[in-house]
């Protein structure tokens, strides 16, 4: 294997994670829990490099590649500094991405071992002065393909805050190449640490946004917010751009919001339907998106009934979806109700006008005393006072609505501000967090790191 294979031009291309262990999540996972929850934090390396027996005095610390091989011998070194954890570490996994060049694939992805020496520096290590690989074996990978994510359980090494070293070696003469931290944030190695506990949530949380993943980095910023917010994740459509293909879900959504897939209850958007039948969306989310190809379903969280709807198919009065919604709401026994879908009935956005075709869905929710509806489509945040289906202020039975299209895609501007619009922002990505009490809900706009816009308040259930 060549020592200095030239890297292909690095776009923000991301590929599926090759999962080494599978966790089965059932619908029961989404109900309110009385057990404690742990916090998950993602760390990138503070240093990474490799050494090469055929270039004993050369330092590769600034390379975009990390090599593992046995002819010539190449060894990779990673160093992570973990901070901010509390309580015991329950899980730690190393996520690494194979390089997107011919030859990066291998029949042997390598052996991962702990290192006692963490004093080495990225720009000084060579074959001649390499640190010792003297710790326990943490795991190994079999065959790997190019441009793909892989995970190794390193819980045995990462026990709390501190600095940890991991080495990768290979017994194969056709070893693998991985992306280093110099390759960019979308493919750099990651250490995902779950630790500590928080008090049992007496009131569950529903958190999310829409218009999420594309070739930019906005979804990386909003996914980082989800890392520190427990609860059920919702999406208000346009989960991935531009066309909702399986490849785009793998390359853009999976490495960011995808790490919260097990607790996500999505809804589809028009870009998801750029792929015929939204098959990329339905295949990616599976049963978590409701019955395949239908795109509408409901579930309960605590004292709340939650409905995810599909504004990309018929929403007219008498349509299959509208009839299902009325039947679903009639059977509901929970005192509070929330719903979400993509195309907004109420919005001041300049790019997309209000979708009056969705009014029959809103009417059904209004007739059944629903409390909150969340939309996407316009890439911004907007909060409206409680309204009736015609957009009139209704403080007695009106439904409070939000446009939560700030999940990562490029920002849109506002046009004429519509009646009853109470708060709005564009240019700040974030997530909308709803804390669902037994007879009310609190809302909070949580901004991406480095931004200051916030919005919060509370509304009683009907």
| Residue where a domain terminates, one of 176, 196, 216 | 196
448 and 414 part of one domain: yes
Structural domain includes residue 306: yes
Are the C-beta atoms of residues 14 and 170 closer than 8 Å to each other? Answer: no
165 and 289 part of one domain: no
Structural domain includes residue 386: yes
Structural domain includes residue 11: no
240 and 160 part of one domain: no
Distance (Å, whole) CA 251 – CA 230: 25
| Residue where a domain terminates, one of 170, 196, 222 | 196
Give the C-alpha distances (Å, rounded to integers) separating 308 from 1, 295, 328, 365.
Answer: 50, 8, 12, 12
* First vs last C-alpha separation in the chain: 67
Structural domain includes residue 12: no
* 186 beta partners: none
Q: Which residues contact 156 (CB under 8 A, 6 or more apart)?
A: 114, 136, 138
Tens-place pLDDT, residues 202-255: 799 999 999 999 999 999 999 999 999 999 999 999 999 999 999 999 999 999
| Residue where a domain terminates, one of 161, 178, 196 | 196
List own/partner pairs for 180-184 with CB under 8 A and 24 or more apart: 180/45, 180/48, 180/49, 180/63, 180/64, 180/65, 180/66, 181/44, 181/45, 181/48, 182/62, 182/63, 182/64, 183/7, 183/10, 183/64, 183/65, 183/97, 183/99, 184/10, 184/12
Residue with tokens 């003297």: 134
Are the C-beta atoms of residues 224 and 185 closer than 8 Å to each other? Answer: no
Structural domain includes residue 229: yes
CATH of the domain at 27: 2.60.120.230
DSSP codes of every residue in 286-353: GGGGSSTTT--EEEEETTEEEEE--TTS--STTSHHHHHHHHHHHH---SEEEEE-SS-SS--BSSS-
Phi, psi of 180 (to 5 degrees): -95, 180
191 and 218 part of one domain: no
86 and 138 part of one domain: yes
Closest CA to 217 of 182, 257, 250, 181: 257
Give the three-class secondary structure for 375: strand
Tens-place pLDDT, residues 159-191: 888 899 999 999 999 999 999 999 887 889 999
Structural domain includes residue 4: no
289 and 432 part of one domain: yes
CATH of the domain at 385: 3.60.21.10
Q: What per-residue string of b and e applies to 83-92 under the rule 16 or more CB within 10 Å gives b?
A: eebeeebeeb
Closest CA to 50 of 127, 142, 104: 127
391 and 452 part of one domain: yes
**What stretches in the chain show pLDDT beneath 70?**
1-38, 196-201
252 and 104 part of one domain: no
Quote the pTM value.
Answer: 0.63
284 and 248 part of one domain: yes
363 and 438 part of one domain: yes
* 134 beta partners: none
Distance (Å, whole) CA 326 – CA 367: 9
Structural domain includes residue 71: yes
224 and 79 part of one domain: no
pLDDT of residue 38: 61
Q: What's the structural domain count of the chain?
A: 2
Structural domain includes residue 6: no
211 and 192 part of one domain: no
Q: Residue 78: which domain range?
A: 17-196
Give the C-alpha distances (Å, rounded to integers) separating 294 from 184, 309, 324, 405.
Answer: 38, 9, 11, 22
């Amino acid at each position: 294997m060549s020592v200095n294979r030239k890297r292909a031009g690095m776009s923000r291309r991301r590929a599926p994670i090759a999962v080494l262990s599978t966790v089965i999540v059932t619908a029961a996972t989404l109900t309110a829990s009385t057990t404690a929850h742990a916090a998950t934090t993602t760390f990138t390396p503070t240093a990474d490099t490799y050494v090469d027996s055929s270039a004993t005095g050369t330092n590769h610390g600034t390379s975009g590649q990390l090599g593992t091989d046995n002819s010539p011998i190449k060894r990779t070194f990673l160093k992570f500094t973990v901070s901010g954890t509390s309580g015991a570490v329950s899980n730690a996994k190393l996520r690494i991405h194979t390089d997107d060049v011919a030859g990066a694939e291998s029949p042997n992805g390598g052996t991962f071992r702990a290192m006692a020496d963490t004093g080495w520096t990225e720009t000084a290590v060579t074959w001649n002065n390499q640190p010792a690989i003297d710790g326990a074996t943490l795991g190994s990978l079999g065959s790997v393909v190019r441009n793909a994510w892989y995970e190794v359980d390193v819980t045995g090494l990462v026990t709390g805050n501190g600095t940890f070293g991991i080495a990768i070696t290979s017994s194969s003469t056709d070893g693998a190449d991985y992306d280093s931290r110099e390759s960019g944030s979308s493919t750099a190695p990651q250490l995902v640490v779950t630790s500590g506990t928080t008090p049992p949530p007496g009131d569950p949380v529903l958190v999310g946004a829409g218009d999420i993943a594309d070739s930019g980095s906005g979804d990386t910023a909003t996914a980082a917010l989800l890392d520190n917010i427990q609860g059920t994740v919702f999406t208000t459509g346009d989960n991935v751009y531009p066309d909702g293909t399986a490849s785009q879900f793998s390359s853009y959504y999976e490495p960011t919001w995808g790490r919260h897939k097990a607790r996500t209850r999505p809804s589809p958007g028009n870009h998801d339907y750029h792929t015929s039948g939204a098959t990329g969306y339905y295949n990616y989310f599976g049963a978590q998106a409701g019955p395949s190809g239908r795109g509408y379903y409901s579930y309960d969280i605590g004292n709340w009934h939650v409905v995810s709807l599909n504004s990309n198919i018929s929403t007219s009065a008498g349509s299959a979806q509208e009839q299902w919604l009325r039947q679903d709401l009639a059977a509901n026994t929970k005192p509070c109700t929330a719903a979400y879908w993509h195309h907004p009935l109420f919005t001041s956005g300049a790019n997309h006008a209000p979708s009056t075709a969705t009014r029959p869905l809103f009417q059904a929710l209004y007739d059944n005393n629903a409390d909150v509806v969340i939309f996407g489509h316009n890439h911004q945040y907007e909060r409206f006072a409680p309204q009736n289906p015609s957009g009139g202020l209704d403080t007695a039975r009106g439904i409070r609505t939000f446009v939560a299209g700030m999940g990562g895609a490029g920002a849109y501007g506002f046009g004429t501000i519509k009646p009853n619009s109470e708060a709005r922002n564009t240019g700040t990505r974030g997530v909308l967090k709803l804390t669902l009490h037994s007879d009310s809900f609190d809302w909070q706009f949580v901004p991406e790191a480095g931004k200051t816009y916030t919005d919060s308040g509370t509304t009683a259930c009907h």
